[in-house]
Amino acid sequence: MPLLLVVLLLLPFLAFAHGGGLDASGCHNDRARGEYHCHRNASTAVTAVAPPRGGAGSSRKAITSFRQAKRVLRETVYESPETHYGFYSNCRFHAQGKKLVPEWTTCGYRPRKNANRASRIEWEHVVPAWVIGHQRQCWQSGGRRECTRNDPLFAMAEADMHNLVPTIGELNGDRSNYRFTEFGSGGGYPSGQYGAVEFRVDFKQRAVEPPRHRRGDIARTYFYMADTYGLAISGAQLRLFEVWDKRDPVDPAECERDRRIAAVQGNHNPFVRAACG
């Protein structure tokens, strides 16, 4: 059989195995892995920067960096004691100089491996910077630093306080850029990885099961980031987040957090605001 004919016959199967065609930025939704990633190099990717969706661009105030956002969060959004709870763990935390220190005994936290990192609160991106960056050409050119310096849309997304939460450092590190999921009958709680805290990481699957009381918050953050910055969410993740949004509805604390962020950043998360009255 002529070689050209063999190649033509195999093309449909090769395309199917890849899990989806590339978009204009050289990226695609990988149906097999349930994620979005990119393949093309920087020379072939689109370099145009799209404006934020949902009206955020016109109302956003001058919080221009991740560093600045962390300072504003600490000094304004999370300045009062009633807000001093870790996002996943519900551990109380307190200020110790410039450091925020979690109180493990208030939530039964036990470090899995890194007690040093578990001794501080960090500001985690619910939608990881890696996920945001891998849908931008700049990441392929030079990673996160390149995006922060030269992609205004990425810099705005990286500093968006609606996507930043106070988290025990070890949980932030172990979560990494892993996708959120439910492990079903093979997982669930108590996992014991972090003492009494409902947080489970499967490092082989690169997946995290968050506590039930935060799943709706996570879903609404993903909805907001996708709507505001045009991020792609896989169909499987979207269906999961829709379930979480219903099972864990907006509560008064989430409304207050949204109000405080809007007061300093200039825009609400509409997926939270709509339930706050």
Q: Where are the domains of the chain?
A: 20-273
Lowest mean pLDDT: which of 183-192, 202-211, 227-236?
183-192
Residue 163: partners with Cβ closer than 8 Å, 6 or more residues away: 125, 126, 127, 157, 221, 224, 225
The arithmetic mean of pLDDT across residues 70-94, rounded, is 95
Instruction: Write down the mean pLDDT value for the chain.
Output: 82
What integer is the mean pLDDT of 243-258? 97
Mean pLDDT value of segment 253-263: 97
Three-state secondary-structure class, residue 145: helix
pLDDT band at 63; cut points 50, 70, 90: confident
CA distance 147 to 140: 9
In this predicted structure, the answer to whether residue 160 has a pLDDT above a threshold of 80 is yes
Q: Select from 49, 228, 198, 31 the least CA-distant residue to 109.
A: 198
119 backbone dihedrals φ, ψ, rounded to 5°: -90, 5
Looking at residue 64, what is its pLDDT?
85
Relative orientation angle of helices 235-247 and 215-229, to the nearest 10 degrees: 130
Give pTM, 2 decimals: 0.79
pLDDT digits (tens, 9 = 90+) for 111-122: 999 999 999 999
Can you tell me the mean pLDDT for 232-246? 96
The mean-pLDDT minimum among 18-27, 135-144, 157-166 falls in 18-27
